[in-house]
Amino acid sequence: MRTTIFFTLFVGFVIGQQAWDAYNYPNPIKGQFMECHVETLPSPVRICDPDQVLMENERQILNEKLLEIERSSAQPLSSNYCTKHGISGVIVLAKYVGGGTSQSIQNMANQLLRTWKVDMCQKGFLILMATGNGKFWASRDYSLPLSGNELANIFNTQRNNFHSGQYYQGLFNVLQQIEDRTRQRSGFSTQIQSQPFEWSNNLPIPAQFSGSATVHVTNFILYSTIFMFIFGHFLL
């Protein structure tokens, strides 16, 4: 099951503007770089902006941030494929989505997340922003280590940026918070796996000393018994 989070930014409509849906929107994962205006970005590309809502350098920075989230949430020493690889995210930008309703934007986001196969381990998320429709939608796979409520709280912190047209800044801040939260959750597990012996060395000092003391007492009793067996008759 996938969950979605929806926000209304503002209301607007321009006649004649290209309206996108899940069938005609270009796919950056499949190499439609020119249509997404990301042909100058190195692969892999995780952002598409056919209407050029953002500046070129802004698209580049957001794409790098998405890849950084994937790297920081990975656990490379894990033997499990889906644990070893981090979460994957995609940003889909447009001015208008066909229909312009909450339901049409929800359908488009969910369908893109499903058909694009953003994350093979079902840990992906897709952010769809339709600035002309004044709507912002996030769709997540069921194994994403962030709940729908957590994503809603993150997006709510950037509501003012979205309302004022500061789309790049709002999106960057959203991605930063996603990275911080996923890094915290994978960091503890990664630390244990990458330093397994250091974990065992952090035992309390009394426990270490108690084991050592037991050995010393046992040795003392053994040596005393041997001594009395050999030299006991000289002492009587």
Domain 3-194's class?
alpha beta
Kindly list the domain boundaries of the chain, sorted by start residue.
Answer: 3-194
27: left (phi over 0), alpha (psi -120 to 50) or beta: beta
In the structure, what pLDDT confidence band is assigned to residue 102 with cuts at 50, 70 and 90?
confident
Look at residue 36 and tell me whether its pLDDT is greater than 70. yes
Cα-based distances in Å from 85 to 1, 24, 122, 145, 228: 21, 30, 11, 13, 65
pTM of the model: 0.73
Enumerate the β-bridge partners of residue 136. 7, 129
pLDDT digit string (tens) for 154-211? 988 998 999 899 999 999 999 999 999 988 665 433 222 222 212 122 222 222 222 3
**Token code pair at residue 166:** 């500061």
Q: Which residues of 78-105 are buried (b: 16+ CB within 10 A; e: fewer)?
A: beeeebebbbbbbbbbbbbbbebeeebb
